[in-house]
Amino acid sequence: MFERCYKMAGVTNLDRVQITPGYGLWTAGIGFQAGAEKLGAMTVPMGPGNTEKQLKMMQDMKTTVLCATSSYALLLAENINGRGLKDKICLKKGIIGSERWGDKMRQRIADELGVELYDIYGLTEVYGPGIGISCSYKNGIHLWDDYLYFEIIDPKTLKPVPDGTVGELVITTLCKEGAPLIRYRTHDLTRIMTGTCPCGSRYPRIDIITGRTDDMVKVKGVNMFPAQFDEVLSAVPDTSSEYQVMIDHLEGKDILTLFFETPAPKERWQDIESQVAEKFREVVGPTINPKAVKVGDLPRSEKKTSRIFDNRY
Ligand SMILES: [Zn+2]
């Protein structure tokens, strides 16, 4: 299945694949590795961290494909641009997985690295990464339904929802012998995309993962998903893809503080903050406390980035 993912992304046995997800007793790094070996591509098996060495290998080995989480891809992209290495790298494609990410972050990574990005999907319990990937049309993730059976359910009622409605992805393995799973709840929120993809692939599609059922937070009686924070920030000019949400309970009231990064000069921060608050009211509802910070002030991560901190309980 992973070999098929590489092929869907147009990776061939002439590519050099640098793998930054972790190698260990789980499926991440080794999944990327096994797929690339099956395809016959050369691999640069790095694992996470040690940015210095990653950049050196990327130049020396003339890496053409980068496999990473979106947080780490962003960190590498910022480093490559900051050090003026863009002309020295040969990257053409990025295979980015295991984390939900917004359009703005995707655009920044694609622009800064000058590569085409593909979303890979998977979970350790079900073979690991590589049970689906986006195609070059970037409209959802094609899933390998000859190996797995996919359903979308309402996480509260546990009933299947109609195609196109957002719910929790549930997976049944059809061929797995060692540890088969029947109707395994992923806690990933997405929807089945209807119609056929212009790429012509017959494999069905789900939308990009919009969050986790356990990432859902209820503030002032309103359910919120991480995707909504992305949506608000992508609608306001001069905000970056990075944000952090702090939720506190003070004097009987929920208070949500949204920290976001902006490249704008300090005298414009107040104006941008009120635009963010206004947009949030429009898209989500409740009044929030927006706080601008400089680009680079919020933490970056070599693994997955936590963005929502609920301090209420
Ligand atoms: Zn397609």
Q: What is the pLDDT of residues 30-66, one digit of tens each?
A: 999 999 999 999 999 999 889 999 999 999 999 999 9
- 194 with 165, same domain? yes
- 5 with 129, same domain? yes
- 32 with 82, same domain? yes
Confidence of residue 153 (pLDDT cuts 50, 70, 90): very high
Residue 157 is part of a domain; what is its CATH number?
2.30.38
- 266 with 156, same domain? no
For residues 75 and 81, give the distance between their C-alpha atoms in angstroms, rounded to a whole number.
10
- 104 with 231, same domain? no
Residues found in the chain = 313
Domain boundary among 134, 167, 187: 134
| Overall average pLDDT of the 170-180 stretch | 94
- The number of domains in the chain is 3
Give pLDDT tens digits for 224-252: 877 788 889 989 999 988 899 999 988 88
Give, in order, the Cα–Cα distances in Å from 276 to each of 62, 242, 245. 41, 14, 13
For residues 221 and 58, give the distance between their C-alpha atoms in angstroms, rounded to a whole number.
48
- pLDDT for 305 equals 66
Give distance in angstroms: CA of 91 to centre of ligand 1.
22
Confidence of residue 98 (pLDDT cuts 50, 70, 90): low
Give distance in angstroms: CA of 8 to centre of ligand 1.
9
Q: Which domain holds residue 191?
A: 139-211
Confidence of residue 221 (pLDDT cuts 50, 70, 90): confident
Residue 107 is part of a domain; what is its CATH number?
3.40.50.12780
- 90 with 22, same domain? yes
Give distance in angstroms: CA of 202 to centre of ligand 1.
8
- 89/305: higher pLDDT: 89
Give distance in angstroms: CA of 33 to centre of ligand 1.
24
Domain boundary among 134, 161, 181: 134
Query: Residue 193: pLDDT above 80?
Result: yes
Domain boundary among 154, 186, 211: 211
- pLDDT for 228 equals 83
- 111 with 205, same domain? no
